[in-house]
Each structure stands twice: as structure tokens, then as C-alpha cells.
Amino acid sequence: MEAWGGRAIDAYPEYQRGERLEAENLYPIAHFWWYTPEGLAQQQAEKGTRRRLVDTARFLHETQNAFYARFAAAIRATGYRGALVGSCWQAGSGVPHYLNLRADALVGLVDRHNYWAGGAGNHVLAPGPVEAEAMVSHPGSGLLATGFQQVAGRPFSLSEWISRLPNEWIAEGPPIVAAYGLGLQGWDASFSFASNLPGEPDRVDAPNVYDADAPTQLGLSPALARMVYRGDAREGEVVAVRRISLPELAEGRLGFAESVEQAGDAKTIHGELPAEALAVGRVLVDFVEHQEPTRPPTLARWWSPGAASVVSTTRQLAWSTAGRGSFTVDTAGTQGVVGFAGGRSIALGDITIALDTPFAVVLVISLDRERGIRDAPRLLVTAVARARNTGMRYSADGARLEAVGGPPILLEGVRAAISLRRAGEPVVSALDAGGRRTERRPVVSRTGAGAGFVADGARDRTLYYEVSYEADAGRPPAGRP
């Protein structure tokens, strides 16, 4: 009564009546919303229960930690020495969000789920409104924004994610997670959701909008897996650390302003720290013993509000805000462009890409474990844009899906002129879906500093090209995969 005030007792008769400390029947309200900034303010105004609620939040946190610790000890007692995950779920905004994140960090690996976009059918493809925004239009948004929950000194995993249909720009998702998440942010694991079939899908929604087997998703893996495992995209410098102490949380306060929005499976974090920070360098949460100030991020060298681009501290990634947005990857082993770069000529370290297709992912990667694009004997060019079912139809402005369609999947052909600045005259072969050479061989022309060719997916019916400087590159299609 002294700590909480008389109004706080029996303030929630729908849950408990006749509350008394000695009866041990004080009801611990467990719904996360009560502890958000909005919830605490509303309950204080209406019932005078802010102090009761923040004390209850501390109690719930301690109870959660005790449960996790008990089961972590039991698992370790079996001899298991691998990673442990408390939970993959978030819990509201403000105090509950960070108490829950702290509980997960005390266990070990911090793991989260997130999704981007969607449509009227939510989990299935259905006619109706389309969430037509692209992540490349807003640096640091969507899937990458999940990284606002990366905790200092703990591994971080995004264990369930995908860009959902009927959004047409879903090919942007894998390179964002690979280059910015696993690369710049140093995330430790990524699991796209989900592989739903034992074979190749014959429609983009097979059997739902969570189709990691679609050519816009799995089709990018041969390039992105090599980029990730070779370590082409380096971790960035730490540019922002939000420091949070348990005493602050016990008082229902944070040292910074922030909110979490959740629409179904899609979650977004907004606050004083701009999302663009995630495109500059590593962003961390640090749980400290005593209250410490959260200092302003160090972004000025790489980005400022209103700037036309966001450059990473590694200088390997650059996110352009021109038009509808795009970003480039410029490493020794992987170079390319992702997003709305049609009509532009993009010069990178060893290549130039002149893209005709309005939206596309075009990546040139070395197929050598150690050598980069400049001297690898074989390169892989991957060019992916949109995919639709046969008969799938959108409104003229793209804001509505009018027909779902059916098999087979139709791919938009990507057209781009690719120039390579290196000695030698390569043989370029269109590859089939299994990576084998076909008889389709684009014409290679000499340029001032090397050679070039036009990748035309509609003409060559492919997502992939091999650029080979090997002596046997002209062999017939029966060559090695």
C-alpha cells in the first residue's frame, strides 16, 4: 500500500478481487501492452497503477530468468555444449521489449523472427490490396531493422524471415540479409522461411507466401552463399550502442525514445536512432549494471539526413536513396547492384553494370575460394528480377493483386550490359538451372579495359551466366556443372 498507493490494490477486478500481500494473491498481469510507454501512462492516469506495473514487470522478468536458467542447466547437464535460445519472440515496446531481450541474452544466442510486406491473404496469396513498398526505398528498414536487437557480446540470429508475396520486389530480401545482416552487422545465422516442398515449386506461392524455394529466393543462393562463406562483405565498425540498465527498467524508463510496431509477423522499430545507422555500421544494445548515457551515434562521415546515399564504414556497401532506392556491393569477390537502378550505369571495382530492367538483382561473383573477380578463372553472373504465376495480374498502379494465376512460374528477364576490367578474352555461357553450360553464348566484345557482354534473361532464358577465362571454356554443354 505504501509503495503502490491505495488505488493500485484490486485495481483489476476482472483478474483478481480481495488482493492482499499476506494472501499471496496479487495478480501479475502478464500482457506486454500494459508495460509499454502508452500502457503505463494510460494505467497511471486511469488507475494509478504505474508503480505496481513496473514492479510486476520486474517480477515477471525474474520469473522468466529463473525458468530459463533452470532449463539451461538441465540441458547443459546432458553434456550438450551448443547454442541455447531462450525465445525468438519480441514483447511489445519499451520496458517489456528490453526485459525480454535481456532474458534471452542471459541464456546465450539472441534469435528473432521478422517478415516484410504481404497482401490481402496474409499467409496465402489472394486478390486484394498489396503492400507494395520495397525495403531498398528506406535504408535500414524491414528485415535489416531486426538488427536493432543485436546485443553486445552475444551471437545474433534471424531464424525465420522472408519477403512475402504479393510484394513484387521480394528478390531484394536475400541480398539485404546476406550483405548487410550477415556481412556488415555480423549476424551469426540466417534461416529463410520456409522450404515447403520436396522438389522445385511450379508456382510462386507453393504452397503459401512463405516460399524460400522460389527462384527469387533460392535462385540467389549460389551467389550469396559464396559471398557469405568467403567473407567478402566485412563486419562494420560499431557506430551506435544503446545502453540499458536493470535499475532503469525497474523504474519503467529507457535512456532513449523508441517504439516497436507489429503488424502480424512483420515488426518495425522506430526511435531516436535512425534506421540508416544499420546501413552504416554495427548497431548494438548493451545491458549494463549501472545507468550510463546513450551517446549519439557516429554517422556523420557516412550519412546525414537528406543525403543521397548511405555508405558503410567498410566502404563496400553503398545505399542510394535516388528514385525508389538501390544499393551496391563492391568487394573483391562479389560486386553488383540490388534494387531500382534501371537506366543507370554503375561502375564498381572491377566491373560496370548498365542496367535496363527497372528493378533487378545483378551480382557478379568469383567462383574461386580465394581469388577475387580480378583474377579468378571463372565468374558467375546472377540476374534476378520479378516472378509471377502464369495468369497472375496486378492493377496498373501495382496496389492490388487482381488474379493469383497458376503454374508454371514466369520470370522477368533481366537485361544488363556487363563490362569487366581485366586482361583476357572470356567465353560467356548461359547456364541452366543446375549450373550447367548451355549452347547459348552471348557475344563478347572488347572494351577499352577488358571485355563485355549483354546479359538478357528473356533472350537466353536463364538467371545465370558463366564467364570463363579457362582454356576449356569453349567445350560443349556436356562440361562440368
Give per-residue pLDDT as tens, 308-325.
Answer: 999 999 999 999 999 999
pLDDT given at position 306: 86
430 forms beta bridges with 465
Amino acid at 294: T
The pLDDT assigned to 197 comes to 87
CB-CB contact of 27 with 12 (8 Å): yes
The predicted model gives 134-154 an average pLDDT of 96
Q: Is the pLDDT of residue 481 over 50?
A: no
Q: Which has the minimum average pLDDT: 345-354, 359-368, 381-390, 466-475?
A: 466-475
* pLDDT-based confidence at residue 477 (cuts at 50, 70, 90): low
C-alpha dihedral sign at 370, 372, 378, 384: positive
What residue type is assigned to position 135 of the chain? M
- Asked whether residue 478 carries a pLDDT value surpassing 70, the answer given is no
Q: Is the peptide bond before 407 cis (omega within 30 degrees of 0)?
A: no
DSSP-derived 3-state class of residue 428 = strand
34 is in which domain, residue-wise? 1-82
- 424-437, pLDDT tens digit by residue? 999 999 999 999 99
- End position of a domain, from candidates 27, 56, 82: 82
Decide which of 38, 57, 82 is a domain's last residue: 82
Work out the pLDDT band at 397, boundaries 50, 70, 90: very high
Q: What is the pLDDT of residue 379?
A: 98
| pLDDT, tens only, 338-349 | 999 999 999 999
- Mean pLDDT, residues 384-409 taken together: 97
Average the pLDDT over 125-148 and give the result. Answer: 96
Q: Which of 122-131, 262-271, 358-367, 376-385 shows the lowest per-residue confidence on average (mean pLDDT)? A: 262-271
- Is a pLDDT exceeding 60 seen at residue 53? yes
Assess if residue 251 is contained within a domain. no
Sign of the CA dihedral 62, 67, 71, 74? positive
Q: Tell me the whole-structure pTM to 2 decimals.
A: 0.95
Q: What percent of the chain has pLDDT over 70?
A: 98
- pLDDT band per the 50, 70, 90 thresholds, residue 327: very high
In a domain, 270, yes or no: no
Asked whether the beta carbons of 136 and 339 are under 8 A apart, the reply is yes
Residue 257 lies in a domain: no
- Please return the burial class of 424, using the count of CB atoms within 10 Å of its CB with bins 0-12, 13-18 and 19+: exposed
Assess if residue 53 is contained within a domain. yes
* pLDDT over 60 (residue 480): no
Length of the chain: 481
Using 50, 70 and 90 to split pLDDT, how confident is the model at 205? very high
Confirm if 66 and 25 have CB atoms less than 8 A apart: no
**Which pLDDT belongs to residue 405?**
97
Residue range 136-144: mean pLDDT, rounded? 96
Boundary of a domain, candidates 16, 48, 82: 82
Number of domains comprising the chain: 2
First-to-last alpha carbon distance for the chain, in angstroms, is 75
Q: Does residue 276 belong to any structural domain of this protein?
A: no
Identify the CA nearest to 416 among candidates 352, 349, 350, 334: 352
CB-based contacts of 101: which residues, under 8 Å, 6+ apart? 90, 110, 149, 151, 285
Does 145 map to a domain? no
User: pLDDT per residue over 284-304, tens digit each?
Assistant: 999 999 888 888 898 999 999
Asked whether residue 105 is domain-assigned, the answer is no
Residue 263 lies in a domain: no
